[in-house]
């Protein structure tokens, strides 16, 4: 039985995974995900793709909002910039997809410097509103730059072919999403346990205190913005490829809210939380539909006609209920369950 955490060196304290069972289960999960495209039908596979893409984006926002504590209401702006960067480079200028993905990361990262710079002076709500303003401005910029972006008509995007491997089929594209999502997860976990990650968390907890301890606020806040925008931009490119069509309408403001909802539901400031939150939020409308259809066919019909409204109502309700009753999110609930399991019948 595991009786406690016996850490004897700093290396052990910051280890990525600190116990063999977690290694085992992570490996099992990864293998299951690799096997998934062979087992699942195309309907379930599309959910898997959406979960992996959303997870990448949520992990991006998690660096900024979860780790560094800078609330962004405009992350859909980075998402749409990434999608357009990829679409313009690959579909319009026929660059290789890898260059497209690089551009999908770099262009939002540069844009984030423009938003991040004025944000250095702002905190909390004022920052949230500046990022909100940014996402509206970026939409207008995209619509106005018709020579590059086709304006409101949008751009068609093909599934990519990298190193001679075609990602045209759903299964292959799932593998691409899986690879990028896994890399992103590893990257954020590694950022969190490094010097940079500790600086982020220090800024989140109290920026004045962090500054007194010698953390360069401006540099780290900008770094958080750039990293977060880079990752979110790549998620945007993936989403654009998934939709096979990039337009401003494809990236509504609700996505920003959805991303924040994911972080809150999962547990703010935790990569595991972002993953759990994504799974819950993406599957929530589908799960609700299933429950409704169990009750009666008539309620099922209501759900189909008002699907969009009910879906967003659910987001709102889930956000409010989690904030009210489980502010630490799914991760907090998981920690509580685990502690009770390990220590039972003792309280702690």
Partner 1 sequence: MQYLVQLLISGLAIGAIYGLIAMGFAVIYKSTGLVNFAQGEMTMITAYIAWTISTTVSGNVFVVAAGAILAAVLLGLIIERLVMRPMLGEPVFATVMVTIGLAVILRSAINFIWDAYPHGLDIGIGRGIVHLGSIGVRTGQIAVIVTLLLLLTAIWAFFRYSKVGVAMRAVAADDRTALLMGISATRVHALAWAASSVIAGIGGVFFALSYDLSPAMFQLGLKAFPATILGGLDAVLGSGLGGLLIGITENLAGGYLGSGMKEVAGFAMIIVVLMVRPFGIFGERDIERV
Region binding partner 1 by CB under 8 A among candidate stretches 105-113, 124-132, 157-165, 189-197: 124-132
Residues from 249 through 268 that contact partner 1 (CB under 8 A) = 254, 257, 260-261, 264
Count of residues engaged in binding partner 1, rule: CB under 8 A: 43
The angle subtended at Cα 179 by Cα 173 and Cα 185, nearest 5°, is: 135
Per-residue interface string for the shown chain with partner 1, residues 205-224, x marking contact by CB under 8 A: -x-xx--x------------
The residue within the footprint of partner 1, chosen from 132, 180, 234, 237 (CB under 8 A), is 132
The reply on whether position 234 binds partner 1 by CB under 8 A is no
Q: In the complex, what is the shortest distance from the CB of residue 151 to partner 1, in angstroms, rounded to a whole number?
A: 10
The reply on whether position 243 binds partner 1 by CB under 8 A is no
The three-class DSSP label of residue 20 is: helix
Q: What DSSP assignment string belongs to 103-161?
A: HHHHHHHHHHHHHHHHHTT--HHHHHHHHHHHHHHHHHHHHH-HHHH-GGG-EE-PPPE
The residue within the footprint of partner 1, chosen from 101, 167, 239, 315 (CB under 8 A), is 315
Q: In the complex, what is the shortest distance from the CB of residue 81 to partner 1, in angstroms, rounded to a whole number?
A: 15
Per-residue interface string for the shown chain with partner 1, residues 27-66, x marking contact by CB under 8 A: ----------------------------------------
Contacts of 241 by beta carbon, 8 Å cutoff, 6+ apart: 86, 157, 158, 159, 160, 173
342 CB neighbour count, 10 Å cutoff: 13
If the CB atoms of residues 113 and 320 are measured against partner 1, the closer one turns out to be 320
The residue within the footprint of partner 1, chosen from 53, 274, 276, 319 (CB under 8 A), is 319
Angle of the 42-61 helix axis to the 217-243 helix axis, nearest 10: 160
The residue within the footprint of partner 1, chosen from 51, 55, 61, 71 (CB under 8 A), is 71
Contacts of 123 by beta carbon, 8 Å cutoff, 6+ apart: 207
The angle subtended at Cα 181 by Cα 260 and Cα 138, nearest 5°, is: 50
What's the rounded Cα separation, in Å, for the pair 61 and 58? Answer: 5
CB-side neighbour CA atoms (13 Å) of 295: 11
Residues from 141 through 160 that contact partner 1 (CB under 8 A) = 143-144
If the CB atoms of residues 286 and 309 are measured against partner 1, the closer one turns out to be 309
Q: In the complex, what is the shortest distance from the CB of residue 247 to partner 1, in angstroms, rounded to a whole number?
A: 16
The reply on whether position 312 binds partner 1 by CB under 8 A is yes
Q: What DSSP assignment string belongs to 51-116?
A: HHHHHHHHHHHIIIIIIS----S-HHHHHHHHHHHHHIIIIIT---HHHHHHHHHHHHHHHHHHHH
The reply on whether position 122 binds partner 1 by CB under 8 A is yes
> Which residues here bind partner 1, judged by CB under 8 A?
71, 118, 121-126, 128-130, 132-134, 136-137, 140, 143-144, 206, 208-209, 212, 254, 257, 260-261, 264, 306, 308-310, 312-313, 315-320, 323-324, 327
């Amino acid at each position: 039985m595991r009786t406690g955490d016996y850490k004897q060196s700093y290396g052990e304290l910051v280890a990525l995974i600190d116990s063999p069972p977690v290694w085992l289960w992570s490996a099992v999960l990864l293998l299951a995900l690799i096997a998934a495209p062979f087992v699942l039908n195309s309907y379930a596979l599309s959910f898997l793709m959406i979960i992996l893409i959303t997870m990448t984006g949520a992990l991006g926002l998690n660096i900024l909002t979860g780790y560094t504590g800078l609330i962004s209401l405009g992350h859909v702006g980075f998402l749409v910039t990434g999608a357009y960067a990829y679409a313009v480079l690959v579909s319009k200028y026929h660059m290789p997809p890898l260059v497209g993905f690089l551009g999908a990361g770099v262009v939002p990262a540069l844009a984030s410097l423009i938003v991040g710079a004025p944000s250095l002076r702002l905190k909390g709500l004022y920052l949230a509103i500046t990022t909100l303003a940014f996402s509206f401005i970026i939409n207008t910029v995209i619509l106005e730059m018709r020579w590059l972006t086709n304006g409101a008509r949008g751009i068609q995007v093909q599934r990519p072919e990298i190193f001679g491997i075609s990602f045209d089929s759903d299964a292959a594209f799932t593998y691409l999403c899986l690879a990028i999502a896994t890399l992103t997860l590893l990257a954020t976990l590694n950022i969190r346990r490094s010097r940079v990650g500790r600086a982020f968390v220090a800024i989140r907890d109290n920026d004045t205190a962090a500054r007194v301890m010698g953390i360069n606020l401006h540099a780290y806040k900008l770094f958080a913005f750039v990293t977060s925008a880079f990752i979110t931009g790549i998620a945007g490119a993936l989403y654009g490829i998934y939709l096979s069509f990039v337009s401003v309408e494809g990236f509504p403001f609700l996505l920003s809210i959805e991303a924040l909802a994911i972080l809150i539901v999962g547990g703010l400031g935790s990569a595991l939380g972002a993953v759990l939150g994504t799974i819950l939020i993406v599957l929530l409308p589908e799960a609700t539909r299933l429950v409704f259809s169990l009750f009666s066919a008539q309620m099922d019909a209501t759900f189909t006609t008002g699907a969009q409204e009910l879906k967003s109502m659910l987001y709102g309700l889930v956000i409010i209920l989690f904030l009210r009753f489980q502010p630490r999110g799914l991760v907090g609930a998981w920690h509580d369950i685990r502690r009770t399991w390990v220590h039972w019948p003792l309280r702690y």
